[in-house]
């Protein structure tokens, strides 16, 4: 698991790291899909805010808390992340349970498979290079990203290949 620390108008002390790192490692033990965690400390006058962003295999969780010291802010933000992870696990568990109940209740029809579109989403296509699109995809933690090529104005889609590389699809 990758841990990244950033500070704005604040300092990341050894005491803070020793307080934070074991708690973040525990996240990985409880939810094995956690790939990376970004912790940002922001200092302003009499308070410190801590923002935690967790990349859990495409699931992006974020929490930000503010108090008079960074330890308290971190503890509160981590609590919020843990509640989000618990809600996510509950939803996945419930979805799996409902799917099992439905499959047990329905007798499968030979050769008949119904495809259902469950969500339609509109996106505005930003003009960028394929390298910038890959970077944006990585930042979002997604497996694909649509964009408009800055030079040709073609609609493109970058995607993560099974071999670990990236691919680009361009519309004609």
Q: Each residue of 19-60: pLDDT tens digit? A: 999 999 888 777 778 888 999 999 988 899 999 999 887 778
Report the C-alpha gap between 88 and 96 in whole angstroms: 12
Residues 35 and 80 placed together within one structural domain of the fold: yes
Instruction: Please indicate, yes or no, if residue 119 is contained in any of the structural domains.
Output: no
H or E stretch at 56:
strand 47-56
Residues 86 and 138 placed together within one structural domain of the fold: no
Residue 113 has pLDDT above 70, yes or no: no
Instruction: Please indicate, yes or no, if residue 114 is contained in any of the structural domains.
Output: no
Q: What is the pLDDT of residue 17?
A: 92
Task: Please provide the average confidence, as pLDDT, over all residues in the chain.
Answer: 86
Q: Please state the domain count of the chain.
A: 2
Instruction: Please indicate, yes or no, if residue 142 is contained in any of the structural domains.
Output: yes
Report the C-alpha gap between 75 and 23 in whole angstroms: 9
Residues 47 and 91 placed together within one structural domain of the fold: yes
Structural domain boundaries, residue 148 = 127-170
Instruction: Please indicate, yes or no, if residue 31 is contained in any of the structural domains.
Output: yes
Q: What is the pLDDT of residue 88?
A: 82
Q: Which residue has the tokens 């307080």?
A: 19
Instruction: Please indicate, yes or no, if residue 65 is contained in any of the structural domains.
Output: yes
Which has the higher per-residue pLDDT, 63 or 96? 63
pLDDT band at 111 (very low <50, low <70, confident <90, very high): low
Instruction: Please indicate, yes or no, if residue 100 is contained in any of the structural domains.
Output: yes
pLDDT band at 93 (very low <50, low <70, confident <90, very high): confident
**Beta bridge partner(s), residue 39:** 5, 52
**CATH code at 155?**
3.30.505.50
Residues 82 and 151 placed together within one structural domain of the fold: no
Instruction: Please indicate, yes or no, if residue 116 is contained in any of the structural domains.
Output: no
Residues 16 and 97 placed together within one structural domain of the fold: yes
- Residue 167, CB-side half-sphere exposure with 13 Å CA sphere: 9
Contact 55, 34 (CB under 8 A): yes
Residues 97 and 134 placed together within one structural domain of the fold: no
Structure tokens at 85: 């992870």
**CATH code at 95?**
3.30.160.100
Q: What is the pLDDT of residue 109?
A: 55
Residues 152 and 69 placed together within one structural domain of the fold: no
């Amino acid at each position: 698991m990758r841990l990244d620390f950033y500070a704005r108008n604040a300092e990341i002390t050894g005491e803070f790291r020793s307080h934070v790192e074991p708690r973040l490692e525990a996240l990985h033990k409880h939810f094995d899909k956690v790939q990376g965690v970004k912790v940002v400390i922001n200092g302003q006058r009499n308070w410190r805010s801590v923002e935690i962003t967790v990349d859990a295999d495409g699931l992006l969780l974020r929490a930000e808390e503010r108090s008079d010291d960074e330890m308290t802010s971190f503890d509160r933000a981590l609590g919020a992340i843990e509640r989000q992870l618990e809600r996510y696990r509950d939803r996945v568990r419930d979805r799996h349970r409902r799917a099992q109940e439905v499959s047990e209740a329905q007798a499968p029809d030979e050769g008949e498979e119904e495809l259902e579109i469950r969500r339609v989403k509109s996106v505005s296509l930003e003009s960028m290079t394929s390298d910038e699109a890959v970077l944006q995809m990585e930042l979002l933690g997604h497996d694909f990203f649509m964009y408009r090529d800055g030079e040709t104005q073609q609609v493109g889609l970058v995607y993560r290949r099974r071999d670990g590389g990236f691919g680009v699809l361009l519309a004609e």
